[in-house]
Every structure is written in structure tokens, then in C-alpha cells.
Structure 1
Amino acid sequence: MSEPALRRIPLEKFVDLKVDYAFKQLFGSEKNKDITVVFLNAILKRSGRQAIKEIAFDNLEIGGEYQDDKQSRLDILVKTQDNEFINVEVQLTNQYDMVKRTLFYWSRVYNSQLQKGMGYNKLLPTITINICNFNLFDQTDAFHNIFHLYEQEEKFRMDDVLEIHFIEMNKFIKQWHAKKLNPWNDILARWLLLLGMVDGRNKKVYNEIFQELEELAMKDEKLQDAFGVWQDLSRSKEEIYAYEARLKYILDEEAKLDDARYLADKEGRQKGLEEGLEKGLEQGLEQGLEQGLEQGLEKGKLLEKEETVKRLFKLSLTAEQIVEATSLDSAIVERIIKELSSNK
């Protein structure tokens, strides 16, 4: 196949498919249903499930996690021929709440099956697939991890109703560069290369990934079809405008979180150091200047982190996000938040 047959636009014009808007246009559209089926089967192959033959798209609205939250629509939600739900979410940036957010969304989708007068035994498995553009699990180098409900000691499965996939793109790209993956005999690797070719955040396109995809598309008709849809999306003025607006919003929110963490850390460090030194010097008059300074600095570090917690809480960050930002024990963070809430 000649290059023009696959690429009719410059590489730098391709949108980043890891941005949820673009991802939905390719994999969440009725007209691209065949592409979505192949993509889902490539992911679910490892869990040994029966191959998907037919899907129907669903637009389930998930209620907010908190009282005043707006409704949010899942990225892609489909029902298979066996009436199993599959929810696919793509996350460009790390908001430090991925695991708990995933369990919350999974529970809402699972619960949505239950109708009045329906027995619990009628509830069918619900599958969640998360594609993350960041590292999530430090415990493993594997880029694709699958979670179920297991007994702790003997590891037998309690039920098959819960299945959650996490795909970490950074780990995948690293392994591909190290030549530890072979997309020629690994269908999932082909589709993840498609997602990894463009880095919208840094306005970068990996030409070496395109070259491999170009060769792979010669033997993979659905991959070639996906390229065609991707190109149409990437040259539509209306779609580009919507994509760029969405990417800007995501990056702005990421910057706000980074700024909040930096400012809170800076203010907390200064105040904590001042208070800690003051307390330490007072104690030093009685126990010796050297010991007092040492204890004061230690106290200052703790006070610094406590001030950081207070600052982040006032900026509406969750307890989990604050634990991630401060490295404090969750019990300490929860205690400080409880004290702040009781003083309102």
C-alpha cells in the first residue's frame, strides 16, 4: 500500500485519540461500530470472555458523586449481545482519584440494570475499561491489569460480575520502544499504538509509530478503516474546534490542580517552618539549643504538611488527592479535614 492511501493529511494534523472527545468520535459512534467491536475484543481477550459479536450504544447518565454535582455522561457505554455492560473511559491527566472514581462508576452502571420486581440473580456482569495516559500502579510494570473479586487466601473468584481493566499508556509505549511487544501478533498492541501516536499535550507526533502502523494496516482492514475515520475527524473544522476546546479545558484544569498544590505547599512550608522554629527555640531554652532546633524543625515539617492539607481542602481537593499530594497518612488528613469541617 502506498503512503497516500493511508495518509492524506500531514502527521502533525492528527488529533490525539487519548483526548476523550476524539476517542468518542472514533469508538463511540454507531457508524464505526465494527471498529469498536474489534477494539473491545482485543482488550477483553485476556480475560477469556466470549467474543463480542454485536453491541448497542447506551447514553446512561451517572449522577454526581456529591450533592451539588452535575450529571455526567460516560465516555463510551455499550451493551453486548449477552446484555453485559462495558464502560470505556479514557483519561489524559491524573486527577489522583482514578481507582475510587472507577468503582463509583462501575457500581452505578451495575445498579442501573436492576428494575422494579427484578431479582438480584438477574444482574449481569459489568466491565469497566480505563485507558490512562499516566502511571497508576507502582507495584507492576505490566501495562494491562485486570481486577476481579477474589478470596484473599485461596484466590478463587467470588463472582464474575466485576471486571475492571486498567491500561497504562506510558508503560505500553515504553515497552514498545524497548521492543518487548510485537504488534504483528498482538492485536491489542496495534490499537494502543493508534492511541499512542499523537501526544496532544506536548504537540508531538511519533513518526516511528506511524511507520509501523502503516505497515500493519496493510494486513488489518479494521485498523485501516480506523485510520480513515481518524483522518476525517482530524481535518473537519468543526471537529477540530471541539477537540481543541476540550483539550484546552483538560490542560487548564490540570494546571489549576498543579498550581493549587504548589501554592499550598509553599505557604504551608513557610508557615510550618516559622511556627516550628518558634516552638523549638522555646523548648531549646530548657533542653538545650541544639535539641530544641532539631525538634522544632521536625515539628515544623509536620505543621507545614498540616497547613498544606488545610489549603488543599479549602481548594476543594478530595481527601485522596490531599494524601497523594502531602504523603501524609490518610488518618491524619481525615482528622484535619474533620476539624476544619467542625469549625465551619
Structure 2
Amino acid sequence: MSYLQEKYINPLTDFGFKKLFGTEPNKILLMDFLNQILPEKHQIQELSYSKNEHVGQQELDRKAIFDVYCVGQSGERFIVEVQKAKQNYFKDRSIYYASFPIQEQAKRGNWDDKLEPVYTVGILDFIFDDHKLDAELIHVVALKKSAQRSFSDKLKFIYIELPKFKKTEAELETQFDKWLYVFRHLSQLQKRPTKFQEKIFEKLFEAAEIAKFSKNELVAYEESLKYYRDMKNVVDTSKEEGWLEGQKAGCEQRNYEIARVLKAKGMPIQEISEITGLTAQEIEHL
């Protein structure tokens, strides 16, 4: 298998992320990662996975399919998404997705209007345009009143911009540092680094070892890795050719070019639409 040269899985691929963080045997990995970014009162001791597909109430609502969707022991909802490339309406999509865990709480009998907290965690393989000059790599968005006073703590968005994380292994200090290092460098490693001796990372590296995959897992991972690399190549090429720096007409042309390449590679039209902002009809006519 030509794509599988590394020892460890790439956690930013769809298959890799769900293998490490979206399965019952490995849920301790997800809990440890989330606890690095959650407030003290919402630290997770246990969680359960929910179905990661929701369908809107209206026929025109498109499906919301989450990478990982889980519920904490106290009822908190967590949507955890890996985003590999910029999308025109990524923030809008985050809000749309967050509406489903809110709506589902109203389906209980004799609902008293009390909501459990909903968190959307985005692990981003890009930097927001409006944050390029901001050194902070983690952004917490909450409901605020005037003067930055909290309106409600029931809905929060946490975005992590991975490209801003530049620390070397020697510079790692916190558990959060180590998790970010894993997301950025796991597939490039040949052994578990000396700073990763905790039991949680022993389990991570064991689960990530490609040589232990079944034949079906190898096939699924290779497809996921190819998709990830194709996506990255398309985005990198668009940057190199200056499409992303153009005016409105140039941006539109860039979206059409990316859509044309992704369609030729067999990507579903819905996903191309989310990435480029083009309508399904526009994509079908390419």
C-alpha cells in the first residue's frame, strides 16, 4: 500500500480521528483531551457516544454529520470536529451543528426548559483570516452581554488553530501541549517520545500503530489518507497560484477550480459545497 509508509496514523484524517477518539475502547483518549480545554466544573469523568448523524426537522434542512458526538456523565453535549481546510461559512456551519444537541434536549417528556451545556470543539488545520496576526491559538466563544459579562454558559465554541503550534518536543510543558504535538506530528514519529510516558499516551501510541490494523482498517485508512492529501494539495496549490489573494472575482474562480478538482476525485457534492460555498446545482454543472 503506497500511502502507508508511516508507523503511526494521521489523526487529522477522518478515519484516523474517529479511530483514536470516536470508539468505545479509546474514549479515555477523548476524555483526557477534552479535559485540557474544558472549565473545571465541566471536567469529564465518563462519557457515552451518541449517533453522529442528525437530520433537520424541515425537508430543506441538510444533514448534520459530526466527526464525534458524545454526552458527558452530567448531560453535557460535545461535538468534536476536525476541519482540514477553510470553508466560506465555517462559523455558520458550527452554529448550525450546535443547534441539534440543543433541539434534542427538548424531546424529553415534560421538559422544564432547562438545557445542559453544549460544546463545539473545532480542531482546525488552518488559521482564521481574522486571527492571522493573533498569537493565541485557542479561541473560546461564549454568549456574552454588554461589557463582556456572561449571558449564559450553556453554549460554547472552542477553536484550536493547529498551524500556530510551533513547539518542539523539548519545549512541551503541559498536557495540552502534548496533545497539540500529537495532532501535528504523530504520523511523522517512529517511536513514542520520551516526554510521552504517561499511561494515556501509551494507550494512544498503541491504538495509533498502523501495523496492528486489520486488513479492512488498512484499506479504509488508505482511502482516508488519500482524501486528506488530495484536499491539502488542492488548497496548497490554490495558495501558490494566488487565488486566495484575489478580489471577489478571483475568489469565485478559485472556488470553481477547487470544486472542479474535488468533483473529479469523487468527493460528495454536499462536502464540496461546504468547502467552496457553491450550490449543488453549480457543482453538478461543472
- TM class by shorter chain equals 0.7 to 0.9
State whether structure 2 residue 154 is matched by structure 1 residue 161: yes
Tell me what 2:266 maps to.
none
Give the helix-richer structure, 1 or 2.
1
Per the normalisation by structure 1, the TM-score is: 0.63
Distance in 2 (alpha carbons) for counterparts of 1:247 and 1:29: 19
Name the aligned partner's letter for residue 83 of structure 2: Q
Identify the match of residue 30 of structure 2 among 26, 36, 44. 36
Tell me what 1:15 maps to.
9
Stretches of structure 2 that go unaligned for 5 or more consecutive residues are: 260-268
Contact 2:9/2:210, CA 8 A, preserved across alignment: no
Contact 1:135/1:168, CA 8 A, preserved across alignment: yes
State whether structure 2 residue 116 is matched by structure 1 residue 124: yes
State whether structure 2 residue 165 is matched by structure 1 residue 145: no
Name the aligned partner's letter for residue 66 of structure 2: L
Report percent identity of matched pairs: 25
Tell me what 1:215 maps to.
194
Q: CA deviation at 1:97?
A: 2.9
Tell me what 1:191 maps to.
179
Alignment RMSD (CA, Å):
3.9
Distance in 1 (alpha carbons) for counterparts of 2:42 and 2:71: 14
Distance in 1 (alpha carbons) for counterparts of 2:211 and 2:103: 35
* Pairing of 1:288-327 with structure 2 (within 5 A): 305-306=248-249, 309=252
Distance in 1 (alpha carbons) for counterparts of 2:232 and 2:60: 22
Q: Which deviates the most, 100-109 or 159-168?
A: 100-109
State whether structure 2 residue 91 is matched by structure 1 residue 113: no
Per the normalisation by structure 2, the TM-score is: 0.75
Tell me what 2:87 maps to.
95
Distance in 2 (alpha carbons) for counterparts of 1:65 and 1:98: 22
Q: Which deviates the most, 14-23 or 249-258?
A: 249-258
Name the aligned partner's letter for residue 50 of structure 1: H
Distance in 2 (alpha carbons) for counterparts of 1:217 and 1:95: 34
Stretches of structure 1 that go unaligned for 5 or more consecutive residues are: 1-9, 200-204, 266-300, 324-336
Contact 2:87/2:274, CA 8 A, preserved across alignment: no
Q: CA deviation at 1:255?
A: 5.7
Q: CA deviation at 1:38?
A: 1.4
Structure with the larger RCO, 1 or 2 (CA within 8 Å, 6+ apart): 2
Distance in 2 (alpha carbons) for counterparts of 1:255 and 1:248: 10
Name the aligned partner's letter for residue 35 of structure 1: L
Q: CA deviation at 1:58?
A: 0.4
Contact 1:20/1:91, CA 8 A, preserved across alignment: no
Query: What SS does structure 2 have at the residue aligned with 1:109?
Result: helix
Distance in 2 (alpha carbons) for counterparts of 1:65 and 1:259: 39
Q: CA deviation at 1:25?
A: 0.7
Distance in 1 (alpha carbons) for counterparts of 2:169 and 2:27: 33
Tell me what 2:172 maps to.
182
Distance in 2 (alpha carbons) for counterparts of 1:262 and 1:248: 21
Distance in 2 (alpha carbons) for counterparts of 1:308 and 1:215: 45
Name the aligned partner's letter for residue 56 of structure 1: S
Distance in 1 (alpha carbons) for counterparts of 2:14 and 2:67: 7
Q: CA deviation at 1:54?
A: 0.8
Q: CA deviation at 1:139?
A: 4.8
State whether structure 2 residue 50 is matched by structure 1 residue 58: yes
Aligned residues: 261
Tell me what 1:6 maps to.
none
